[in-house]
Amino acid sequence: MKIIAAFPTVELAYLAAARLESAGIGVEIRDEAITTLTWLYSPALGGVKIAVDEADVADAEAILCEPASEEGILVCPHCGSRDAAVRALSAAGGVLLVLNVPLPLAFQTADCRACGKSYGVPAHPNLG
């Protein structure tokens, strides 16, 4: 088994693992217990890791590089399409997240795959 990805939280690792398993790729999650029990050690350990068989490495990396689609959840205000994805954190946001700096995100940016335009969406359901 080869480690192909690492995540700062167990939840993010399980989301990625679910994407791989839905494609028929066997996944092993490592360092889950120590990260859950002592979350301050997560950056020192390199986060929660996902490992796959050597034969599945290329396919697994390709799947994880694809943006996650929230089809049917977001509706583009420009064209009405439901094929959109919320942008991942920027590099700076990722560094702040790893350093456990709270990020007061009120809005995120979504990209429509149909028309190519971007628009803001609330980061939390309670915010209108």
Q: What is the per-residue pLDDT for 5?
A: 92
Give the domains, in start order, of the chain with CATH numbers.
2-65 (3.30.70), 67-128 (2.20.25)
pTM here is: 0.53
**Backbone angle region of 59, left / alpha / beta, with phi > 0 → left and psi within -120 to 50 → alpha:** alpha
Q: What is the per-residue pLDDT for 23?
A: 87
Express each pLDDT in 5-54 by its tens digit.
Answer: 998 888 889 989 998 998 899 999 998 888 888 877 777 888 899 999 99
- b/e 87-115 (16+ beta carbons within 10 angstroms → b): eeeeeeeeeeeeeeeeeeeeeeebbbeee
